[in-house]
Amino acid sequence: MNPSASGWIKKLLIEVSETSCTELETSQFYHRLKQTGFIYGSNVSVVLDIAKPFDFTDEERCKINLLVTYYFIHEKEACTENLTDSLIRYYKAISNKKRSIFDELFGDKSSDSLLEKMIHKRIYIEDNIISKSFNYFLINAFLFVDVLGYQRFLKDESNIRDYVNNLESALETIVFTAIEAKSKKTKYDNNLIKLFEESVRHKNSVLPSYSDAVKFISEPLEKLYLIDLVCMASWSDKVIDKEERDYLNRLKTDLELQNEDITKSVDDINTFYNKHKDDVAFLQSKNLAQSFYDNSSKVVSKLIKRNSKRLIKELSESKEAMSLLAQSTQRNLTDEEQKKIQSQLLDIFKSIPSLAIFMLPGGMILLPLFVKFIPKLLPSAFDDNRIENEDV
């Protein structure tokens, strides 16, 4: 099951329907989802290990976690409508009618294909794979708001767009209050602010007051999610200080939670960050250029591996492209040769849908990386400088 290829939703739903995930209590499922990093905007694993082993990207894990969570909510609410159809109606209901990010998708006749495209658009902060390479932050950190909105939608469809907007605004008020209260902000704090700001769907000029925001948070899952976001906002250098704990205790009282709810949330964020500190983007300190190179390299390498058989077949039919790629391992190509190989590679990419990103505006930026990685797939005769089993 490949979440970057068409048909993944239907296949995943078959796999998840064969599990017993819905036997869990909602709070238990939420905790397991939190362990994947989905609640924190950093998907390091797949919830309940539902999908069969595969070398998933962060974005693909996010897609799986989001859909499995939707499935769990759908089943728990005993919805009789098909999950795919209900999700499409939900996303249409919460979209901005004047300027929907889904407008260009609604002509898709296949419901599965339409939902795949909708989810693809929702998980990204910026729906441009080239610009994503320049950022630490790829994944929308407020995706669980969509889940909470869907849960409400299954109970009451009226005013659902207002509910989602108001929930997001309430969370924004409380979380940013926690961050702004810090007398000294670390790089983590600044990165987190940027992540949250870029994840907000609706930019409201006037946010609700703290008291109004707290009054809006009433459902159990809303409360758990809010406390986890505040703990995420309070965490810095593995320490949640006295002022931050006072703020958490204030929330505990206002939301009518128990001490153990706060303690567990604090322990969970500490455990997650300590265990996955090398996997969470906003805990890193790479510069812009290194971030771009690392993200782009991962994308290109993944695409090459997954499409290796078709690539070799297509390349073998283009003798000039093969020759230029082989020569690129031993010398720098001339400008004219680079233009030739770009043109021929783009023709090849048109026959492989997964490689369509190279044809997007700015896609040429990734071609040098492609040229760097692709010779590893070619027969060794094409690379005189290759040393087999060399540890580099």
SS (H, E, C) 350-379: CCCHHHHHHHCCCHHHHHHHHHHHHHHHCC
Q: Which H or E element spans position 288?
A: helix 288-306
Between residues 240 and 41, the one the model is more confident about = 41
Q: Is 3's pLDDT higher than 50?
A: yes
Residue 196: both structure tokens together: 């949250």
Which pLDDT belongs to residue 237? 60
Which pLDDT belongs to residue 106? 52
Q: Grade residue 71 by pLDDT with cuts at 50, 70 and 90.
A: very high
Q: Which H or E element spans position 282?
A: none
pTM above 0.75, yes or no: no
Give, in order, the Cα–Cα distances in Å from 232 to each of 41, 271, 328. Answer: 10, 12, 46
Per-residue b or e along 102-120, where b marks 16 or more CB atoms closer than 10 Å to that residue's CB: beebeebeeebebbbbbbe
Q: Which long-range contacts (CB under 8 A, 24 or more apart) does 206-212 make?
A: 207/169, 207/172, 207/173, 208/166, 208/169, 208/170, 208/173, 209/173, 210/173, 210/174, 210/177, 212/170
DSSP string covering 26-89: HHHHHHHHHHTTTTTT---S-GGG-SPS----HHHHHHHHHHHHHHHHHHHTT--S-HHHHHHH
Least trusted range by pLDDT, from 185-199, 291-305, 333-347: 291-305
Q: What is the CA radius of gyration of the chain?
A: 23
- Judged on CB neighbours under 10 Å (0-12, 13-18, 19+), 277 is exposed
124 - beta bridge partners? 139
For residue 139, give the 3-state DSSP assignment.
strand
User: What does the mean pLDDT of the chain come to?
Assistant: 80
Q: Is 179's pLDDT higher than 60?
A: yes
Between residues 99 and 182, the one the model is more confident about = 182
Q: How far apart are the first and last CA of the chain?
A: 32
| Reduced DSSP (H G I as helix, E B as strand, rest coil) percent helix, strand, coil of the chain, to 5 | 65, 0, 35
What mean pLDDT is predicted for residues 229-240?
79
- Judged on CB neighbours under 10 Å (0-12, 13-18, 19+), 126 is middle
Q: Grade residue 23 by pLDDT with cuts at 50, 70 and 90.
A: very high
Give, in order, the Cα–Cα distances in Å from 198 to each of 103, 179, 378. Answer: 21, 16, 41
Asked if 145 and 164 count as a contact pair (C-beta separation under 8 A), the reply is: yes
Which pLDDT belongs to residue 67? 97
Apex 23 CA angle, 22 and 24, nearest 5: 90
Q: How far is it, in rounded angstroms, from Cα 281 to Cα 277?
A: 9
Q: How far is it, in rounded angstroms, from Cα 191 to Cα 196?
A: 9
DSSP string covering 160-225: HHHHHHHHHHHHHHHHHHHHHT-SS--HHHHHHHHHHHHH-SS--SSPPPHHHHHHH--SHHHHHH
Which pLDDT belongs to residue 50? 87
pLDDT tens string 291-308: 555 556 666 777 777 777
Q: How far is it, in rounded angstroms, from Cα 152 to Cα 77?
A: 10
Which pLDDT belongs to residue 263? 92
